[in-house]
């Protein structure tokens, strides 16, 4: 029989109290060193919650994945994607967001929790113009807290070790499986690099 943990008191009895460092590392605005770390990150995971459930969306750029508007506000351009808009739908209905920033080679991650809104302001979108293209919207994130994450998870996973992707199913394989062969397959995979190159921004 599974023994469920169903209250905070039981949870705290199992895990004890957090160490002083894990509490004192929390900032509530950008600091010089957290700024340096976040501006080095070209990739993060954006987590949102809404009526249909939760969503974790990978976000990446060829420079910093976010831009600082001020020491309590981050800007994230919403570049071209698959138009599911899972994260954006959630933000419209529930403004709570979390971001987890990563830098290749580092065993640490930096996390931001806060609240977000979506802006289509022309000047704001124009800040991110690149090669004649602009994002259709910008996610404006109000920082609630920033803190670094313990490195143990990344170290255990050996995340930045050798490439271990050989043998994994391709997106074409997965699409073919999910659509009983109607979509996907080898033709989808073969066409993907060219299609991706045309729609990165």
Does the pLDDT value for residue 197 go beyond 80?
no
Q: Which residues contact 107 (CB under 8 A, 6 or more apart)?
A: 151, 154, 155, 159, 160
Give the number of other CB atoms < 10 A from CB of residue 139.
23
Between 201 and 27, the more confident residue is 27
Cβ atoms of 124 and 172 within 8 Å: the answer is no
Work out the pLDDT band at 201, boundaries 50, 70, 90.
low
Question: Per-residue confidence at 86, pLDDT binned at 50, 70, 90?
Answer: very high
What percentage of the chain exceeds 70 in pLDDT? 98
Q: How confident is the model at residue 137, as a pLDDT? A: 97
pLDDT in tens, 106-126: 988 999 999 999 999 999 999
Which pLDDT does position 29 carry in this prediction?
94
Q: Which structural domains are found in the chain, ordered by start?
A: 8-161 (2.30.110.10), 162-200 (no CATH)
**What are 30-55's pLDDT values in tens digits?**
999 999 999 999 999 999 999 989 99
Residue range 133-155: mean pLDDT, rounded:
92
Supply the pTM of this predicted model. 0.87
Q: Quote the pLDDT of residue 191.
A: 87
Q: How many CA atoms lie within 13 A of 89 on its CB side?
A: 12
């Amino acid at each position: 029989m599974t023994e469920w943990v169903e209250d905070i008191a039981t949870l705290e009895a199992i895990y004890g109290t957090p160490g002083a460092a894990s509490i004192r590392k929390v900032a509530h605005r950008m600091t010089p060193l957290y700024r340096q770390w976040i501006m080095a990150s070209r990739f993060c995971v954006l987590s949102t919650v809404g009526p249909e459930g939760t969503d974790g969306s990978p976000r990446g750029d060829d420079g910093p994945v976010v831009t600082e508007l001020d020491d309590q506000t981050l800007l994230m351009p919403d570049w071209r994607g698959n138009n599911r808009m899972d994260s954006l739908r959630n933000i419209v209905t529930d403004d709570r967001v979390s971001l987890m920033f990563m830098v290749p080679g580092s065993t640490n991650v930096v996390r931001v929790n806060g609240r977000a809104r979506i802006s289509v302001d022309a000047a704001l979108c124009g800040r991110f113009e690149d090669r004649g293209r602009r994002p259709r919207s910008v996610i404006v994130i109000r920082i609630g807290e920033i803190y670094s994450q313990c490195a143990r998870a990344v170290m255990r996973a050996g995340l930045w070790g050798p490439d271990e992707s050989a043998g994994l199913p391709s997106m074409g394989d997965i699409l073919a499986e999910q659509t009983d062969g109607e979509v996907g397959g080898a033709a989808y995979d073969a066409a993907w690099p060219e299609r991706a190159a045309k729609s990165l921004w």
